[in-house]
Amino acid sequence: MFETLGMLRDGGICMVPLGACSLVAATIIIERALALRNDTVMEPHILRLVRDYAGEKSAESCVMSCRRSGRPLARVIEEVLQTRHLEHSQAVEAINATGRSQVARLERGLTLLEIIGGVSPLLGLLGTVLGMVDVFTAITASGIGNPQVLSHGISEALITTVAGLFVAIPAVGFHSWFSGRVDGFATEMQNVSTQFSFRVRAPEAQKAGEIHGLR
C-alpha cells in the first residue's frame, strides 16, 4: 500500500486531476450500474399494470400507481393514460416528449464519463511530457552520471501514462456498455408504450367510428 502511495506521489502534479477523474468516474459507474438495472427501469409491476389494464375503470388507479413509482417506464405509461382523450397527433407528441426526457434521465452522467475517458489519457500524456522535461533538465544540470537524479522524471513519465490509461479504459468501456443499455431500454419503452397506446385509444377510435357511421 505504501509503495502504491509512493508511486502516486512520484507521478507529479498530473496525478491530482487524474485522481479526481478516477473518483468521479467510479461514482458515475456505481450510480449508473444501480440505476440501469432491468427491474429498476422496466419495473415488473408496471408491466403487469399494462398487461392487466381493464379500460376506463382502471385508468385512474394505473395513473396513481405510475405516479407513485416515478421510474422511466412508469412516467411514459402515465403520459399515455393522461393523453388518451387528446387528438392522436397531440398525444403522440406529448408521449414522445416524455420519452425523450426519460431517456435523457437514463443518460445522466454518461457525457461526463465519456469526457473523462477522453481526457484521462491526455492528462497522462501531459505528465509524461513533464516527466521527460524534468529528465532533460536534470541531465543539463548534472549530466548523466547520477541515475538517481534522473529516476524522478522517468518515474513521473511512466506513472502518469499508466494512471491515465488506468482511468480511461474502464471509463470508455462502461460508457459504451451503459449507452447500449440505454438504447435497449429506450426501444423497450417505445414498444411497450406504443402497444399500450393502441389498447388505450381503441375504445375512443371505435366510438368515433360509430358516431361517424350514424352520420
pLDDT of residue 208 exceeding 50: no
* Cell, residue 201: 385509444
Output the pLDDT for position 143. Answer: 65
pLDDT of residue 118 exceeding 90: yes
Question: How many beta carbons lie within 10 A of that of residue 198, not counting itself?
Answer: 11
Summarize the confidence of residues 111-117 as an average pLDDT.
96
- pTM equals 0.81
pLDDT of residue 152 exceeding 80: no
Q: What does the pLDDT look like over 45-96, one tens digit per residue?
A: 999 988 988 888 888 889 899 999 889 999 999 999 988 888 888 988 999 9
Q: Which SS3 state, helix, strand or coil, does residue 146 take? A: coil
Contact 181, 34 (CB under 8 A): no
